[in-house]
A and B are shown apart, each in its own frame.
Chain A
Amino acid sequence: MFKYITLLVLGLLVTKVQAAKSFEVSVVSKDNQPVSDMVVYLTPKFLLPEGVRQDSGPNETIGQRDKKFMPYISVVQKGQALHFSNQDDITHHIYSIGGENRFEFKLKSGEVKQTQHVNSAEEIAMGCNIHDWMSGFVLVVDTPLYGKTNDAGSISFTLPQEGDYDLTIWHPQLDVEGNQRTYSLDTESIGAARIYRVVLEKTMLPIPEQKNQEEFEFLEEY
């Protein structure tokens, strides 16, 4: 919510300099179905003005609910901290062992935790050492222009200015190398509709269900 406001404010600011341009990305599968929760971010090929380089707004909190990471995928800009909130009645031992942004901590029921700032733009794969099936991802991006597609598979950006961008889509189950695709585009030539349409060539891999696969159902009763 804050983010939108920020964008709005930013938009107003940009408008001051140059009329802010809206831009929409729509991601559909090859059979033309909308793909939601796809991370989309735009990396300008030019230097953005100082004011719009850093999105300092508060981040989405990564909750643990029903022994799941909620949301499954989060996206943050480099330099921000991650916020965790244990909404279950048991303790979680959250970790990420790969890459530069490694962390691990225990989060008791009802506690919240803010990590250190993540300074490396990369994928953070998270797990719970207690609940093996729990899986969550955070993509750290080095651009303020990022978001996830909504249920209709689309996401709107307000561009600080027209120009050449790299449009990148990322999803852990995107069945390509590095789980991401990047498209180069010139926003001025994308047409009056201002919609950039991404059609996935492959079907998305199934999202691992964050659910206890074992037979020990008694855990549910805790």
Chain B
Amino acid sequence: MIKLLNMRSLQSKILILFIFLLLIVQTVSFYLTYQANQQLDNTQLNNRIESAKKLFRTQFENRRYYLAAFAETAAKDYGLKSVLNEDRKSFLVALNNHRKRINSDIAIAIDSQGEILAELVTYLSNSGDVKVKVGDEQGQAFPLPSGLYSQEQAQLVELSGQLYQLGMAPIKSGSRVVGWLGFGYLINTQLAKEFAELTDVNIAFLVGEQSNVNLIASSRGADAIEDIEQYLSVLQSQQADYIFNTLPLGEVSQQPLSVLLYQSKADVLAQAGVEWPQLTVVIAMTLLLSVTGAVGIARSITSPIKRLLAQVNAITHGDYDGAVEVDGSIELRKLSNEFNSMTKAIVSREETISFQAFHDPLSHLPNRNSLLKALEARQQAGEQFLVLQLCVLGAEEVKDTLGYKVGDQLIIEVANRILKCNLNLSCYHLGAEHFVLLAELQSIDELVQRILSDLNMRCQYENVELDLQFAIGGADSSQINGGDASELLQKTNVALQHAKKEKIPYQHYQTQFDINAMERLFLTNSLKQAIELNELVLHYQPKLSLKNMTISHVEALVRWHHPDKGLIPPDAFISIAEKTGQMAALTRWVTTTAVRQYVAWREQGVDIKVAINISAENIKDKSYADFVIDLKDQYDIVDGAITLEVTEDAVVGDISTATDILCYLREHGFKLSIDDYGTGYSSLAQLKHLPVQELKVDRSFVQHLASDNSDKIIVLSTIELAHNMGLTVVAEGIEDETTLKWLELQGCELAQGYFISRPLPVDAFDRWLEDTIYRIKQYEE
């Protein structure tokens, strides 16, 4: 029931609508029935009064006729006639003989002068018998004028205090009227009762006109007085508790006599009231049936909806199996059909989505998500297996040079080839040029060999022959180190990177790879912190001017004093700084620190110029250049005092921008040097446009210079080339005196290396300066 009363539910809305409509219909129908009943009652009542009136009129008229006819008969009776003028007693006896025949209440004879010759009236004796006596008016004048006797109307006359209806007839002698004979009945309560019984309505005889009436007799006896009052009030106000009708009967003493026929409506309604309980029961039954029907209809409408709702819930929870069958209306069936097809569409779309989620859109091979699942499954099954990560080398270049389409074709081709090689491999595509193969534990070298032999076929695309190269990193399930299966994937990646780096086709994962990688990760996270916490320091390596054997320059080299790991060499973190975009901050710190050191030495009177390594980042835009120029101005540093060393590779990346920035720096008095010259791919043609003043020959050419002639040739030709282009030359990596002497002999301007000094922190460097055999360049006094 509480459920039913939920106003917001469709079912209760339908129910309420039904009940509401039902109530309206019932009210209207009840009202109409009631009205019709009322009208019927009134009509019936009126009809009853009307027919009672007709009946009364007929009966009353019949009595009059009966009386008149009898009077006429009696008046013609010669026996009576002949004693009319004989002695009174005889006539009275004869008259009474006639009276008895019709049992009239009065018998009267009047002479032609209007005098009452004889009057006989009945009365109730004390013993209750009806007896006859001579009336009071005998010998007096008859109250009616003689002209009225013979009228057809009832003759109404009041005699001896009683009202009579008389029938009269003339007594004739030949044609001469010699007198009148009359017989009559009383108009009294008994008569009223007789008529009431006959007509079934209340009867009252009234004398008077309109509101000024007197009650003569009534069928209701004394109660009639109230009825008459009611009647009078009805005459005045049309209240309708009673239905009335009157019939004029004639005149008594110049007053109209009428009969009032009436009936109380209350009586009729009291009869009708018997039907009320029945009507109530009928209404209640109808209401009950209708409500039951309404509940049924509401349920039949809402139950399919509820089933649909349940199905929606099931789908929400991922259960697509159930189909809804609704046996309701056409609309609902249509809805359920649509609903079922919607479910199918959702299932199909979800399958597509799920396929896409677990497959690579390009190769349609299972993707990394699938791989992780598969790895997990294998791990949980306790299987021993191999994981190989395969990378298509040069795929990136193919894409760059031949377009994405060819790149994609290439990847698809590779995927197809992997699928075709019948080596019992599970193949996954991580995306781009990376694939992962899962295999049973077996001889790895043999497997790799077979894979590569299957894959290493030439690939032809639109007349372009592509020679596919691959690198593979592998790991096996025994190498899982407490982590989950995805750890293996990471390990193969590390192995792959290693293989790529070493340019070998296959590398199996080794634990130290991972340690390096972990360290690198660690450094990445703490380098930024290191700069902020001043964990970085600069070491300075002196450069010897070979011309006068004077320490005139120094190269600032950054070192990381890690609180836990001690001194970390620059190779370990510079490349990380470059990759993680921290190079700008690092270089600025180095630059600032080096410049301040230069200024410090200058204040000590030591004229040692400082060289700072800058990276490719620093010459991509003017921001670093402006920064270092500001610094130079700030400390009022002379031109040429600061050398900025740039590697060949840094310059080669975007040579025009690099050239612009370098020119800008040179204009502001910086000396520019090409670092690690000889290791890069820079061409001399490019170099000749660079505004550099110095070449720094890479240590790889210098370290073995004393014993390696080809190195000597390279260095010598480099020095000659540099000098011819107006550049000075710095040789680094000098580890013995022979090399130093040789370089001095060849005209190399500056020398740098462990032979002179290893890089030193500033205080050690200062002490070295005091102890060194070389001269120190001083500011001239």
Contact = CB atoms under 8 A, between A and B. Distances in A.
Contacts of B176: 98, 123, 125, 135, 137, 172
B85 A102 contact: yes
A137 B174 contact: yes
Given A97-B84, A98-B85, A98-B178, A125 B173 contact: yes
Given A135-B174, A135-B175, A172-B176, 12 more contacts: A96-B173, A97-B84, A97-B173, A97-B178, A98-B173, A98-B178, A102-B85, A125-B175, A125-B176, A126-B173, A127-B175, A132-B76
A125 to B, nearest CB: 3
Contact of A134 (B81, B84, B174, B178): B174
B707 to A, nearest CB: 190
A182 B81 CA distance: 32
Nearest to B78: A129
9 closest A-B pairs by beta carbon, nearest first, are: A125-B176, A127-B174, A135-B174, A135-B175, A125-B173, A208-B175, A98-B178, A129-B78, A125-B174
B82 A125 contact: no
A123 B85 CA distance: 15
A95 interface: yes
A107 B106 CA distance: 37
A221 to B, nearest CB: 24
B112 to A, nearest CB: 8
Interface string B171-183: 0111110100000
A160 B81 CA distance: 43
Interface string B142-178: 0000000000000000000000000000001111101
A34 to B, nearest CB: 24
Interface in A54-110: 69, 93, 95-99, 102, 104
B76 A95 contact: no
A127 B178 CA distance: 12
B420 to A, nearest CB: 144
Contacts of A153: none
A136 interface: yes
Nearest to B111: A98
A104 B86 CA distance: 13
Contacts of A208: 175
A73 B679 CA distance: 192
A95 B172 contact: no
B78 A95 contact: yes
Nearest to A97: B173
Nearest to B83: A97
Interface of B: 76, 78, 81-82, 84-85, 112, 172-176, 178
A29 B575 CA distance: 174
Contacts of A97: 81-82, 84-85, 173, 178
A96 B112 CA distance: 15
A97 B117 CA distance: 14
Given A104-B82, A129-B78, A132-B76, A95 B175 contact: no
A23 B22 CA distance: 110
Contacts of A102: 85
A98 to B, nearest CB: 4
A124 B174 CA distance: 10
A80 B720 CA distance: 219
A123 B176 CA distance: 10
Interface in A116-145: 123, 125-129, 132, 134-137
Interface of A: 69, 93, 95-99, 102, 104, 123, 125-129, 132, 134-137, 172, 208
B85 A126 contact: no
Contacts of A98: 84-85, 112, 173, 176, 178
A104 B78 CA distance: 11
B125 to A, nearest CB: 34
A119 B588 CA distance: 189
A126 B82 contact: no
Nearest to B175: A135
Contacts of A104: 82
Given A97-B178, A98-B178, A132-B76, A127 B172 contact: yes
A31 to B, nearest CB: 25
Which residue, of A69, A97, A123, A208, has the highest number of chain B Cβ atoms within 10 A? A97
A125 B178 contact: yes
A143 B174 CA distance: 26
A172 B178 CA distance: 13
B32 to A, nearest CB: 61
Contacts of A125: 173-176, 178
A172 B173 CA distance: 12
A129 B82 CA distance: 10
A164 B738 CA distance: 225
A93 B82 CA distance: 12
A126 B76 CA distance: 14
Contact of A136 (B82, B84, B85, B174): B174
Contacts of B76: 132
A95 B83 CA distance: 12
Contacts of A93: 78
A132 B78 CA distance: 11
A126 B173 CA distance: 6
A208 B82 CA distance: 22
Nearest to A133: B175
Identify the interface centre among B76, B112, B172, B174: most chain A CB within 10 Å of its CB.
B174
A110 to B, nearest CB: 22
Nearest to A130: B78
A177 to B, nearest CB: 11
A126 B78 contact: no
A129 B78 CA distance: 7
Contacts of B172: 127
A174 B106 CA distance: 35
B178 A95 contact: no
A23 to B, nearest CB: 31
A134 B173 CA distance: 10
Nearest to B86: A102
A137 B178 CA distance: 13
A68 to B, nearest CB: 11
Contacts of B82: 95, 97, 104
A152 B84 CA distance: 40
A126 B84 CA distance: 15
A154 to B, nearest CB: 27
A36 to B, nearest CB: 19
B399 to A, nearest CB: 146
A99 B178 CA distance: 9
A125 B172 CA distance: 9
A127 B176 CA distance: 9
Contacts of A96: 173-174
B83 to A, nearest CB: 9
A125 B173 CA distance: 6
Nearest to B84: A97
B735 to A, nearest CB: 186
Nearest to A93: B78
Query: B76, B82, B175 — which one has the most chain A CB atoms within 10 A of its CB?
Result: B175
A169 B282 CA distance: 91
Contacts of B78: 93, 95, 129
9 contacts: A96-B174, A97-B84, A97-B173, A98-B84, A98-B112, A99-B85, A125-B178, A128-B174, A135-B176
B599 to A, nearest CB: 175
Nearest to B177: A125
Contacts of A137: 174, 176
A128 B175 CA distance: 10
A69 B175 CA distance: 12
Contacts of A126: 173-174
Nearest to A125: B176
Contacts of A95: 78, 81-82, 173
A135 B173 CA distance: 8
A69 B81 CA distance: 20
A107 to B, nearest CB: 15
Contacts of B81: 95, 97
A123 B172 CA distance: 14
A96 B178 CA distance: 10
A136 B84 CA distance: 19
